[in-house]
Amino acid sequence: MDDLKKIKELRAKIDSIDDKILELLNQRARFVIEIGKTKLQGKRDFYAPEREKEIYHRLTQNNQGPFPNQALKNVFREIMSASLSLEKPLKVAYLGPKATFTHQACMQYFGLSAEFVPKKDIADVFDDVNRAKVDFGVVPIENTTEGVVSHTIDMFVTSDIKICGEITIEVALSLLNKTGKLGDVKKIYSHPHAIAECKEWLKEHVPDVPVFDVSSTAMAAQTAGEDPSSAAIASEFAAALYDLQVVEKKIEDHANNFTRFLVIGNKSSEKSGGDKTSVMFAIKDMPGALYRMLKPFAERGINLTKIESRPQKGKAWEYVFFADMDGHVSDSKVSDALKELEAQCSFMKILGSYPKGAAK
């Protein structure tokens, strides 16, 4: 009985704390509404990724535990998502349908209070952002196993859309079907990238089962949900949404498989103190062109975290480069390096500066 009495007393204290948290959340919400009104009067952007990063950094630095920092971020992600919805409901287009990894990236970045709009392809996401039908878009850019998503890079060549943020999530793939039994699998569906990431597992465990490409892992799950003889390579999140069972978890061939996504919009983010800048450019064909391209960054100690080349359409043997670097375009050394690079280019486009994302 003493134990029960102690538990009851502790639960009463927790209830009291919860009541205080509720009171403080509503107090915070009232301040958010006031900020929203002020932003509206000043015609300022209502969403500021750099401000969110500042909040996460301050809270995790001040956290004395035992509440874990990742859980703290998750809690405040939802607090800020709900707060944004009080200022203005946030509308986000993404490469759909529901339960794709892009959908999961959206929820991780914007929280569950945003309105997510699935689109059939990457071009449609860019178009909705460009036409201001949505506030932001989320598209995949690269995977640690399968490399760059070339269609996303190609869209930046002709678009004025800016990169506002990034999300990196771990991709864990499962085999899903209606029964959860491998023996019932007569055909398998998935996105080509997901199939490629699981090719060794497929070869070893289902060598005689035909595998078919579809537009997304979620579409594969939807197909498997409609056909008991089919299975899908998709996420466990997709299993819950499409009423499927997990046949086998984590069937990807390589552990630590991550996909990076870009948040796109019509404006770059302000400086946060931990930023990345993305650019696209084409260099003039001349001796030492590669050296000339890298020299401005090397001399200023700027870390290029990524550089990718793509053929220029309509111009044989000429290439467009996509590069990421540490720093914000407002930093003098980044700005000076880009000016020096531009002098060597047939064209250059700054795609945006934005807060660095961390792997979930």
How far is Cα 191 from Cα 201, in angstroms, rounded to an integer? 16
Q: What is the pLDDT of residue 117?
A: 94
Q: Cα 114–134–279 angle (5° rounding)?
A: 105
With a cut of 50, list the residues of the chain below it in pLDDT: none
Instruction: Classify residue 360: in a domain, yes or no.
Output: no
For residues 310 and 322, the answer to whether their CB atoms sit within 8 Å is yes
Count of domains in the chain?
Answer: 4
Are both 159 and 229 inside the same structural domain? no
Residue 317: what pLDDT?
Answer: 53
Q: Using the structure block, give the residue that is written with the tokens 């869209």.
A: 155
Inside any domain, residue 165: yes
For residue 339, which of 296, 301, 295, 275 has the smallest C-alpha distance? 296
Question: Could you say which of 32, 61, 87 is where a domain stops?
Answer: 87
3: Cβ–Cβ under 8 A, 6 or more apart, which residues? none
Q: How far apart are CA 344 and CA 159, in angstroms?
A: 22
Q: What are the tens digits of pLDDT across the range 123-169?
A: 999 999 999 999 999 999 987 776 778 788 888 888 889 999 999 98
Q: Is residue 23 part of a domain?
A: yes
Residue range of the domain that includes 119: 91-171+258-263
Give the Cα separation of 294 and 291 in Å (integer).
5
Nearest to 231 by CA among 264, 279, 282, 195: 195
Tokens linked to 304: 């290029």
pLDDT score, position 150? 79
Task: Report d(CA 76, CA 55) in Å as an integer.
Answer: 9
300 is a domain residue = yes
Q: What is the pLDDT of residues 153-163, one digit of tens each?
A: 888 888 889 99
| Domain final position from 234, 263, 292 | 263
Residue carrying the six token digits 């199939």: 195
pLDDT of residue 270: 85
The per-residue pLDDT for range 46-86, each reduced to its tens digit, is 677 778 878 888 898 899 989 988 888 888 888 888 887 88
In the chain, the largest separation of any two C-alpha atoms, in whole Å, equals: 86
Q: CATH number of the domain that 295 lies in? A: 3.30.70.260
Give Cα separations from 41 to 28, 29, 32, 34 (angstroms). 20, 19, 14, 11
What is the pLDDT at residue 16? 93
Residue 130 inside a domain? The answer is yes
**Domain CATH for 8:** 1.20.59.10
Same domain, 153 and 95: yes
Do 144 and 204 reside in the same domain of the chain? no
- Are the CB atoms for 234 and 190 separated by under 8 Å? yes
Inside any domain, residue 253: no
Residue 16 shares a structural domain with residue 45:
yes
**Taking the model in full, what pTM does it have?**
0.78
Query: How many whole angstroms separate alpha carbon 126 and alpha carbon 130?
Result: 6
Residue at 283 is within a domain = yes
pLDDT reported for residue 24: 92
Do 186 and 242 sit in the same domain of this protein?
A: yes
Token pair 């890079």 is found at: 153
Looking at residue 46, what is its pLDDT? Answer: 66
SS3 annotation, the chain: CHHHHHHHHHHHHHHHHHHHHHHHHHHHHHHHHHHHHHHHHHCCCCCCHHHHHHHHHHHHHHCCCCCCHHHHHHHHHHHHHHHHHHHCCCEEEEECCCCCHHHHHHHHHHCCCCEEEEECCHHHHHHHHHCCCCCEEEEEEEECCCEECHHHHHHHHHCCCEEEEEEEEECCCEEEECCCCHHHCCEEEECHHHHHHCHHHHHHHCCCCCEEECCCHHHHHHHHHHCCCEEEEECHHHHHHCCCEEEECCCCCCCCCEEEEEEEECCCCCCCCCEEEEEEEEECCCCCHHHHHHHHHHHCCCCEEEEEEEECCCCCCCEEEEEEEECCCCCHHHHHHHHHHHCCEEEEEEEEEEECCCEC
In a domain, 117, yes or no: yes
Residue 192: which CATH number?
3.40.190.10
CA distance linking residue 231 with residue 244, whole number of Å:
9
Q: In Å, how far from its chain's centre is CA 65?
A: 28
Residue that is last in its domain, among 231, 263, 295: 263
Which residue from 280, 273, 283, 285 is spatially nearest to 328, judged by alpha carbons? 273
